[in-house]
Amino acid sequence: MLAGCCLSVFQSWSFQVRYKLDGDKDPVFLSIDTRNWANGQLHSVKINREGKDIYIQIDQLAAVKYSLPSFTDLEFNTIKSLILGKIMGRKHCDADQEEYEAGLDHYEADREESETSQNHCEAEGEECEAGQKHCEADQEENEVGLDHYEADQEESEVGLDQYEAEWEESEVCLNHYEADRGESETSQNHCGAEWEECETGQDHCETNQEESEAGLDHCEADWE
């Protein structure tokens, strides 16, 4: 019995075993058609002989008989080795094919990942370009805003100059006001003094009036 992995290897496949028996001039070709083992999974291979017949059994499938001319045990062992070599070679070939297909699947998967990554890179590149454009637009807006700020700053400086000029004018007016106020207070003081003098004169007049009336009374008394 020859142990092997679970692998289907007998799908419409046939091979020939070339051998030459002692005394024969020409080699003999043994054609083995494995289509009879289409459902086989290569777990085990059995090769036996009964007389001139060779029986090959794959796993639990029915053995297939091949009739040959007369041969010795040594020749049978040689033929058996050749048959096993063909079957195992096909097994390895199919295994390599599956590995190749698996590798191809991995390659395609890696290629898809690479394309996806490429798409992501392109998308990120587009996002980067869009972000760059936004940055440039923001930069332009900042420059415009800076121009406005500088213009406002200049206007503010002009307004400050005007304010300082008006403040100086206001101080001059305030000085004039204080001077006028001082003159008004002086005039008020003069008026107050004149008013006091006027009141004093009034008092004198009233006193003289009283004295005149008293003198008149004395005159009238003297007349009587």
Reported as a single tens digit per residue, the pLDDT across 50-107 is 887 888 887 777 787 877 766 677 777 877 787 777 776 655 555 666 676 777 677 7
Residue 119 pLDDT greater than 80, yes or no: yes
Strands (E), 71-177: none
How far is Cα 53 from Cα 48, in angstroms, rounded to an integer?
Answer: 8
Of the listed ranges 93-102, 129-138, 185-194, 200-209, the one predicted with least confidence: 93-102
Diameter of the chain measured on Cα atoms: 218
Residue 127 is predicted with a pLDDT of: 84
How far is Cα 204 from Cα 209, in angstroms, rounded to an integer?
Answer: 8
Q: Is residue 10 very low, low, confident or very high in pLDDT (cuts 50, 70, 90)?
A: very low
Could you tell me the two tokens for 43?
Answer: 């777990």
pTM of the model: 0.32
Q: Which DSSP letter does residue 62 get?
A: P
Q: Is residue 23 very low, low, confident or very high in pLDDT (cuts 50, 70, 90)?
A: low
How far is Cα 103 from Cα 126, in angstroms, rounded to an integer?
Answer: 34
Strands (E), the chain: 2-3, 14-19, 28-33, 44-50, 53-58, 64-67
Q: Is residue 21 very low, low, confident or very high in pLDDT (cuts 50, 70, 90)?
A: low
Residue 139 is predicted with a pLDDT of: 84
b/e map of 127-164 (b: 16 or more CB within 10 Å)?
A: eeeeeeeeeeeeeeeeeeeeeeeeeeeeeeeeeeeeee
How far is Cα 84 from Cα 77, in angstroms, rounded to an integer?
Answer: 10
